[in-house]
C-alpha cells in the first residue's frame, strides 16, 4: 500500500479543545461528525474531490492516494453534517473511514467481503441474551507534527525520534506572550531572557553557550526569517512580531534541526501562518494594558473558490514602555497580505509582510546589596519600573571630525523591513513531490541604546578617580566639581536621592540589509526493506549587510530617566579652567565601526525516514554547508578635535579612509541518526546522536577582519526520550548531553578609566548533561495541571585565561565552572480551573529559576527567584472572548543577567556594594477583547 497523502491542514480553533494547548488531534468526537458545512464539489477524480472536501470541511484528510486516484466521485452539493457528506462522497469508492477526529480524518481501503455460503438449516435453539456492547475506548490526545522532518506526511509525536513542543492558537491566546522570546518560555530546555523588551532578547537551549539566536533558528512557514541569527546587534527577534496571522508554533528541540535548518544546533522554531484558504474567517482583538499599552490585531481570510484564498492581517501597537523612559517607548506594527492556491496536486502561495516598528531596548539597571547580601533597589530608582533611559538623552549631538551627529534614544530598536515570500509544491504522483520556498528581505534596522558601564559610585569617589587626569591637563587645577549638563546646577547627594553617578555609552548601530534565501526539496517515498520517506534538498542564501556603529560615553546621575553630568576644573579663584566632559560626554567617539559585509551560503542535505518494522523507525540525515564571507572594513584611529576647554574630544575614534578587505571561507559536515520504537499509538521511545559543524558568522569579522581564532566548532549532541499519552494525562521526558569543542569566548569589557573597550579571547570546551520534562494531567473535576522542568549541569571544560593583576600576568582556570546565566533548574507549574462548562478558564503559572552566575569565573552570583503569572480567559458569546493577563503578580525582583560591559570572564564578584544587572519587569496587566467569525 502506498503511503497516505495529507491534504492541506485546515485549522479552526474549537471551544471543545480550547483547554488543551498543543493538541492537534482528538479521535472520535461526536461534535465533529455532527458539525454541518456547505459543500460544492463537482463530479471528478476522487483524489481531487477529497482534497476539496478537506478544505470545505476544515479538516485534515489522510487517505491512500492510489486508491482514490483510480476512482471518480459523484457531485456533492448543499449543507449537511460533515460525516454524512463524507459517507456520500465515499459511497462505492472502495474507501472507508478508519478514524474520524475533530480535526483529522483517516481513510483506508475497504476490505473486499466475499459472500459466504448459506449455512445449513439448524434446529431452533433458545436465544441467549445479547451481551451489552463494549464501551468505546476513551479518546486519547495526540499531536501531529510536520516540522523538522524529511517528508510532509504527518506523524504523531509518539512516532518521532526527537523532542517537539507545539503551541497552537488557543495556547497563544491563553498565555498572551508580550514578545517572541516570552513565547519561548513554554519550551522545555530553553533558558529565555526576555527582559530586553519586545526585541533584542537572548535564548539558550540545552546548555549551548552562545547568546542571541546564534544557535536557535526562527522559521516562518519552514523558511528562515534570518539565515544567520547570530549577526551582531541583529537578533532575529528584532524583525519578527507575533500577531493574529500566526496559526501555531512548532518548536523542535535539538534533534534534526541542524540538518534542515542553518544555525540551529539548539533547535528550530517554526511559525506557521494563517491563510485564507486554510483558515477562512475574521478575527479582531483589542488590548489595553496598565503601562499605557494599546494594541489592535486583526485577520481576514476569504476562500474565493475551493482552490483559491486571500488573506490580510497584522497589528498596530503603542505603549509607554514596561519601564518608564518618559516618552512613547514602543510604537508601530506590521501588516501581511497573501494569496494561496491549492488544487490538491499543485500548491502555490505568495505573501508580503511589512514591519515598521520601534521598541525600547532595556538594559541593566543600578542595584545594591544590603548588609545581608540581599539584592535591593537604590533610593531614587525603582528597579522594577525605572530605566536610565530618559528625555535628557532623546536628542543629543555627537561631535565628530565631520561635524555633529544626532543621537536619538527614543528610536530604540527601529525596524523597517519588507518580506516577500513565495512557496510552491507540486506532486508528480502519490510518491514524489517537489517543494520550493523563497524569501526576499529588504530594509534596515537602527539600534539606539543607553548601555551602563562599570559600577555606580558616589560623586566624590568619581571625582577622586579623575582628579589626576584633570590635573595633568590643567596644572592650575584647585577644585573639581560636578554639575548638570543641561542647566549647570551643582550635583549634590540630594539631587537624585542617592548621590550616585555612573558612566554609560550612547550607542547607535545602523544596519541596512538585503537577503535572499531559497530552499528546494525533492521528496520520494518507496518500499525496500521497509518503507522510506526520502528527501534531498539544497538551500542558498545571499546577504549584504552595511554595519555603521558609533558611540559616545557620558556621565549620568543614578535616577529613573537619568540626566547627563559635567565634571569641571576650577582654579583657586573658582574660575573654570577646563572640563573632563562636554555636554555630559566624557569621550566622543569611544567606538567606531564602518563595514560592508557579504555572506553567501550554500547547503545540501539528505534525509531518510525509514520504517523498518511496524513499531520501529530509523531517521538518518546529513548536511554539507559552505559559507563565503566577504566585504571590507574601515579601520579607526583617534583624532583630537582641538577643543582645549575639554578632554572629551582628545581621542575621537573615526575612520581612516582606507579599507581592509574581508575574505574568509568555511565549510563543514553535519550528520544525525535517530531511532524510534512505538509499542502502541499511546507511547513512544527514541534515541538520537547528532554531530554538527557550526560555521562562523559574518559579523565576527566586523572589527577584526584578519582574526585567526574563528574556526569551525564541532558540536556533539545526544538525546533519549519517552513520550506517553493517556486519556487523562501525557508526559514527555528527554535526557540530553551537549558537547562543544574549540569554541572562542571573548571578554569584551569597557574600561571606564580609558573610556574604551578591551577584549581578549580564550578557546575552550563546554559540556552539559540535562533532563527536560513536560506533562499535562486532568485532575478531579474542572482542575488540570501543566508542568515543565529543565534540570541541567552546564560546565566549562579546558578553559584557562590570563589576566593582569597589579601589572603582572596571572593564569586563571575556569574548568568546571558553570556556564554563565544558565540555571541548573527551571520549573513551571500551571494549575488551571475550568468553570461554567468550560466558558471560563483560570490559570496560575508558578515559575522558579535556581541561582546563576553572571561571569565565567562564577564570582557574581545571580540569586534564585520565583514568579507568579495569572491568566483568565472567558468566552462571552459564540464569537467573543475576554482575556486578562497579569505577569509578575508579586513584583518579584529576579535578575536574569549581570552587566556584560563589565566583562564576561570575571566581573570582580560582589565586592562592591553597587552593581548593574537586568531584572524581570514589575507587575503588568493587560486585558484583551477578541471577536472571531
- CA neighbor of 290 nearest in space, from 921, 717, 862: 921
The CATH number assigned to the domain holding 43 equals 3.55.50.30
Distance CA(207)–CA(189), nearest Å, equals 8
CA dist 392 and 415 (Å) reads 23
| Residue 132: Cβ within 10 Å count | 6
Same domain? 216 vs 349: no
What distance in Å separates the CA atoms of residue 243 and residue 177, rounded to the nearest whole number?
10
Domain assignment of residue 500, yes or no: yes
**Nearest Cα residue to 921 out of 389, 321, 449:** 321
Q: Quote the cell numbers at residue 234.
A: 541583529
Whether 103 and 173 share a structural domain: no
- Nine cell digits for residue 132: 451489552
Tell me, yes or no, whether 158 and 88 share the same domain: no
Is residue 114 domain-resident? no
10 Å Cβ neighbour count for 849?
24
Above 50 in pLDDT, residue 117? no
Q: Are residues 858 and 905 in the same domain?
A: yes
Beta strands in 60-198 (DSSP E): 60-64, 76-81, 95-100, 104-109, 144-145, 155-156, 163-168, 190-193
Residue 510 in 3-state DSSP?
strand
In a domain, 209, yes or no: yes
pLDDT number for residue 314:
97
How far apart are alpha carbons 876 and 144 in whole angstroms? 30
pLDDT (average), residues 29-50: 73
Task: Give per-residue pLDDT as tens, 85-110.
Answer: 888 888 878 888 877 876 678 887 77
126 in a structural domain? no
Tens digit of each residue's pLDDT (9 = 90 or more) over 364-391: 999 999 888 899 999 999 999 999 999 9
From the list 187, 160, 162, the residue with the least C-alpha distance to 258 is: 162
Q: What is the DSSP string of 162-210?
A: SEEEEEEHHHHHHH--SSHHHHGGGSTTEEEE-TT-SSS-EEEETT---
CA 715 to the chain's CA centroid: 21
Whether the predicted pLDDT of 19 surpasses 60: no
Q: What is the pLDDT of residue 849?
A: 96
* Count of other CB atoms within 10 angstroms of residue 559: 20
Overall average pLDDT of the 36-58 stretch: 81
* pLDDT level of residue 130 (50, 70, 90 thresholds): very low
* pTM as predicted: 0.84
The four Cα atoms 300, 197, 220, 512 give a dihedral, to 10 degrees, of: 110
Residue 314 sits in the same domain as residue 198: no
188 within some domain? yes
Q: What's the mean pLDDT in 156-164?
A: 87
Q: Are strands 104-109 and 60-64 parallel, antiparallel or unpaired?
A: parallel
56-60, 193-197, 867-871, range with greatest mean pLDDT? 867-871
Per-residue pLDDT at 737 exceeds 90? yes
* Residue 611 clears pLDDT 50, i.e. is over it: yes
Whether residues 318 and 205 share a domain: the answer is no
pLDDT of 123 > 70? The answer is no
Q: Is the separation of the CB atoms in 185 and 202 below 8 Å?
A: no
Instruction: Determine the Cα–Cα distance for residues 25 and 138; give it in Å rounded to an integer.
Output: 14
- Asked if residue 341 and residue 425 are part of one domain, the reply reads yes
Radius of gyration of the chain (CA): 31
Band the pLDDT of 911: cuts 50, 70, 90.
low
Cell triple for 679? 509499542
pLDDT at 541 over 80: yes
* Position 123 in a domain: no
Q: Is the pLDDT of residue 62 over 80?
A: no
Are the beta carbons of 641 and 399 closer than 8 angstroms? yes
Residue 910 φ/ψ region, left for φ over 0, alpha for ψ in the -120 to 50 degree band, beta for the rest:
alpha
Is the model's pLDDT at 910 over the cut of 60?
Answer: no
Are 684 and 723 within 8 A, CB to CB?
yes
Segments of 16-101 assigned E as strands: 36-41, 60-64, 76-81, 95-100
CA distance 175 to 180: 12
Distance CA 628, CA 667 (A): 9
Contact at 8 Å (CB) between 291 and 322? yes
User: In which element (H, E) is residue 525 found?
Assistant: strand 500-527
Grid coordinates given for 211 = 547568546
Number of domains the chain is built from = 3
Instruction: Tell me the residue range of the domain where 36 lies.
Output: 4-109
Q: What is the CATH number of the domain that holds 666?
A: 2.40.170.20
- 294-305 and 308-319 strand pairing: antiparallel
Do residues 264 and 332 share a domain?
Answer: no
Q: pLDDT tens digits, residue range 464-476?
A: 999 999 999 999 9
Q: State the greatest distance between any 2 C-alpha atoms of the chain, in Å, as a whole number.
A: 133
Cα–Cα distance between 592 and 574 in angstroms, integer? 37
Q: What pLDDT sits at residue 25?
A: 31
Q: Are residues 428 and 565 in the same domain?
A: yes
Say if residue 794 is exposed, middle or buried (CB neighbours under 10 Å; 0-12, 13-18, 19+).
Answer: buried
CA–CA separation, 365 and 384 (whole Å)? 9
| Dist. CA 675–CA 530, nearest whole Å | 14
Residues with Cβ within 8 Å of 131's Cβ and at least 6 positions away in sequence, in order, are none
Query: Are residue 692 and residue 742 in the same domain, yes or no?
Result: yes
What is d(CA 621, CA 260) in angstroms, rounded to the nearest whole number? 9
> Of 124-133, 171-180, 763-772, which range is least confident?
124-133
Domain presence at residue 117: no
Contact 158, 684 (CB under 8 A): yes
What's the mean pLDDT in 228-248? 92
The last residue of a domain, from among 83, 109, 135: 109
Q: Are strands 500-527 and 783-797 parallel, antiparallel or unpaired?
A: unpaired
What grid cell was written down for 931?
A: 471577536
Are 313 and 210 members of one domain? no
Q: Is residue 247 located within the same domain as residue 326?
A: no
Please give the grid coordinates belonging to residue 446: 537602527
3-state helix, strand, coil in the chain (%, to 5): 10, 55, 35
- Residue 228 Ramachandran class (φ > 0 left, ψ -120 to 50 alpha, else beta): beta
Confirm whether 283 is domain-assigned: no
Segment 337-370, tens digit of pLDDT: 999 999 888 999 999 999 999 999 999 999 999 8
Measure the CA–CA gap between 244 and 284, rounded to whole angstroms.
Answer: 8
Residue 194 belongs to domain with CATH number: 2.170.130.10
Average pLDDT, the chain: 88
Chain segment 221-236, per-residue pLDDT in tens: 999 999 999 898 999 9
Distance CA 640, CA 618 (A): 66
Angle at 321 (CA atoms; ends 454, 284), nearest 5 degrees:
145
Which residue's entry shows cell 560555521? 695
Could you give the CA distance from residue 516 to residue 621 in angstroms, rounded to a whole number? 25
Residue 806 predicted with pLDDT over 50: yes
CA distance 131 to 689: 52
pLDDT at 482: 97
Residues whose CB is less than 8 angstroms from the CB of residue 116 and which lie 6 or more positions away in sequence, other chains included:
none
**871 CA to centre of own chain:** 21
The Cα–Cα gap between 862 and 512 comes to 36
pLDDT in tens, 389-443: 999 999 999 999 999 999 999 999 999 999 999 999 999 988 899 999 999 999 9
Q: How far is CA 454 from the centre of its chain?
A: 30
Q: What is d(CA 368, CA 130) in angstroms, rounded to the nearest whole number?
A: 79
Q: What is the pLDDT of residue 54?
A: 82
Phi then psi for residue 252, to 5 deg, are: -95, 125
Amino acid at each position: 500500500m502506498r503511503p497516505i497523502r495529507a491534504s492541506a491542514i485546515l485549522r479552526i480553533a474549537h471551544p471543545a479543545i480550547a483547554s488543551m494547548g498543543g493538541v492537534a488531534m482528538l479521535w472520535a468526537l461526536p461534535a465533529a461528525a455532527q458539525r454541518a458545512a456547505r459543500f460544492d464539489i463537482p463530479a471528478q477524480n476522487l483524489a481531487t474531490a477529497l482534497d476539496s472536501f478537506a478544505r470545505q470541511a476544515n479538516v485534515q484528510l489522510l487517505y491512500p492516494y492510489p486508491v482514490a486516484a483510480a476512482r471518480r466521485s459523484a457531485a456533492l452539493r448543499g449543507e449537511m453534517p460533515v460525516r454524512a457528506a463524507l459517507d456520500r462522497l465515499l459511497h462505492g469508492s472502495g474507501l472507508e473511514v478508519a478514524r474520524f477526529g475533530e480535526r483529522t480524518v483517516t481513510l483506508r481501503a475497504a476490505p473486499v467481503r466475499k459472500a459466504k455460503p448459506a449455512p445449513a438449516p439448524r434446529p431452533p435453539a433458545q436465544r441467549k441474551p445479547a451481551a451489552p456492547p463494549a464501551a468505546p475506548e476513551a479518546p486519547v490526545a495526540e499531536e501531529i507534527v510536520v516540522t523538522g522532518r524529511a517528508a510532509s506526511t504527518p506523524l504523531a509525536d509518539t512516532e518521532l525520534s526527537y523532542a517537539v513542543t507545539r503551541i497552537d492558537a488557543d495556547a497563544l491566546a491563553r498565555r498572551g506572550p508580550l514578545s517572541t522570546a516570552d513565547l519561548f518560555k513554554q519550551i522545555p530546555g530553553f533558558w529565555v531572557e526576555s527582559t530586553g523588551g519586545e526585541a533584542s532578547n537572548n535564548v539558550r537551549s540545552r546548555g549551548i553557550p552562545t547568546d542571541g539566536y546564534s544557535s536557535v533558528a526562527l522559521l516562518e512557514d519552514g523558511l528562515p526569517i534570518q539565515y544567520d541569527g547570530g549577526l551582531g546587534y541583529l537578533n532575529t527577534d528584532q524583525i519578527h512580531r507575533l500577531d493574529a496571522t500566526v496559526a501555531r508554533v512548532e518548536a523542535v528541540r535539538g534533534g534534526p534541526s541542524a540538518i534542515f535548518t542553518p544555525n540551529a544546533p539548539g533547535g528550530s522554531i517554526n511559525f506557521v501562518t494563517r491563510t485564507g484558504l486554510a483558515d477562512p474567517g475574521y478575527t479582531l482583538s483589542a488590548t489595553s494594558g496598565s503601562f499605557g499599552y494599546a494594541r489592535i490585531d486583526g485577520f481576514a481570510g476569504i476562500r474565493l473558490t475551493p482552490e483559491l484564498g486571500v488573506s490580510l492581517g497584522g497589528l498596530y501597537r503603542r505603549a509607554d514602555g514596561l519601564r518608564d523612559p518618559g516618552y512613547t517607548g514602543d510604537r508601530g506594527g506590521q501588516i501581511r497580505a497573501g494569496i494561496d492556491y491549492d488544487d490538491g496536486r499543485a500548491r502555490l502561495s505568495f505573501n508580503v509582510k511589512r514591519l515598521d516598528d520601534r521598541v525600547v531596548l532595556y538594559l541593566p539597571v543600578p542595584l545594591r546589596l544590603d548588609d545581608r547580601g540581599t539584592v535591593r533597589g537604590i533610593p531614587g530608582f525603582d528597579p522594577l519600573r525605572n530605566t536610565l533611559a530618559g528625555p535628557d538623552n532623546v536628542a543629543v549631538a555627537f561631535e565628530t571630525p565631520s561635524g555633529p551627529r544626532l543621537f536619538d534614544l527614543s528610536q530604540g530598536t527601529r525596524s523597517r523591513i519588507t518580506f516577500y515570500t513565495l512557496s510552491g509544491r507540486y506532486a508528480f504522483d502519490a510518491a514524489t513531490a517537489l517543494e520550493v520556498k523563497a524569501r526576499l528581505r529588504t530594509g534596515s534596522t537602527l539600534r539606539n541604546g543607553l548601555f551602563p558601564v562599570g559600577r555606580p559610585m558616589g560623586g566624590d569617589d568619581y571625582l577622586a578617580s579623575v582628579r589626576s587626569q584633570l590635573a595633568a591637563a590643567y596644572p592650575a587645577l584647585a577644585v573639581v566639581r560636578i554639575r548638570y549638563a543641561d542647566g549647570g546646577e551643582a550635583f549634590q547627594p540630594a539631587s537624585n536621592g542617592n548621590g550616585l553617578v555612573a558612566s554609560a555609552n550612547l550607542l547607535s548601530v545602523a544596519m541596512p540589509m538585503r537577503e535572499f534565501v531559497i530552499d528546494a526539496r525533492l521528496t520520494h517515498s518507496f518500499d525496500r526493506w521497509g518503507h522510506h520517506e526520502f528527501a534531498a534538498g539544497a538551500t542558498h542564501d545571499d546577504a549584504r549587510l552595511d554595519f555603521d556603529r558609533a558611540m559616545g560615553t557620558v556621565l549620568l546621575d543614578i535616577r529613573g530617566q537619568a540626566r547627563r553630568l559635567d565634571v569641571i576644573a576650577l582654579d583657586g579663584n573658582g574660575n573654570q579652567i577646563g572640563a573632563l566632559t562636554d555636554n555630559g560626554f566624557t569621550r566622543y567617539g569611544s567606538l567606531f565601526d564602518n563595514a560592508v559585509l557579504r555572506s553567501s551560503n550554500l547547503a545540501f542535505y539528505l534525509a531518510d525516514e525509514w520504517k523498518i518494522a511496524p513499531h520501529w523507525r530509523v531517521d538518518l540525515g546529513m548536511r554539507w554547508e559552505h559559507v563565503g564571507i566577504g566585504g571590507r572594513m574601515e579601520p579607526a584611529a583617534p583624532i583630537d578635535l582641538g577643543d582645549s576647554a575639554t578632554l572629551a574630544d582628545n581621542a575621537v575614534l573615526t575612520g581612516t579612509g582606507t579599507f581592509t578587505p574581508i575574505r574568509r571561507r568555511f565549510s563543514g559536515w553535519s550528520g544525525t541518526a535517530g531511532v524510534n520504537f512505538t509499542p502502541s499509538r499511546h507511547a513512544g521511545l527514541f534515541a538520537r546522536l547528532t554531530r554538527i559543524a557550526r560555521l562562523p558568522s559574518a559579523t565576527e569579522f566586523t572589527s577584526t577582519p584578519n582574526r585567526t581564532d574563528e574556526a569551525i566548532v564541532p558540536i556533539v549532541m545526544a538525546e533519549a526520550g519517552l513520550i506517553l499519552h493517556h486519556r487523562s494525562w501525557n508526559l514527555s521526558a528527554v535526557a540530553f548531553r551537549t558537547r562543544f569543542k574549540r569554541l572562542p569566548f571573548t571578554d569584551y569589557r569597557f574600561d571606564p578609566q580609558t573610556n574604551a573597550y578591551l577584549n581578549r579571547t580564550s578557546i575552550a570546551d563546554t559540556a552539559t548533561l540535562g533532563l527536560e520534562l513536560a506533562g499535562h494531567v486532568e485532575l478531579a473535576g474542572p482542575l488540570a495541571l501543566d508542568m515543565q522542568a529543565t534540570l541541567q549541569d552546564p560546565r566549562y571544560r579546558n578553559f584557562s585565561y590570563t589576566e593582569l593583576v597589579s601589572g603582572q600576568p596571572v593564569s586563571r582556570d575556569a574548568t568546571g565552572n558553570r556556564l554563565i546565566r544558565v540555571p541548573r533548574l527551571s520549573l513551571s507549574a500551571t494549575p488551571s480551573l475550568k468553570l461554567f462548562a468550560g466558558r471560563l478558564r483560570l490559570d496560575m503559572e508558578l515559575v522558579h529559576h535556581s541561582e546563576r552566575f553572571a561571569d565565567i569565573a562564577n564570582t557574581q552570583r545571580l540569586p534564585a527567584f520565583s514568579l507568579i503569572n495569572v491568566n483568565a480567559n472567558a468566552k462571552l458569546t459564540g464569537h467573543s472572548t475576554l482575556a486578562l493577563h497579569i505577569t509578575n503578580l508579586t513584583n518579584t525582583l529576579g535578575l536574569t543577567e549581570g552587566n556584560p560591559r563589565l566583562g564576561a570572564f570575571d566581573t570582580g564578584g560582589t565586592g562592591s556594594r553597587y552593581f548593574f544587572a537586568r531584572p524581570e519587569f514589575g507587575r503588568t496587566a493587560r486585558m484583551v477583547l477578541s471577536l472571531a467569525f
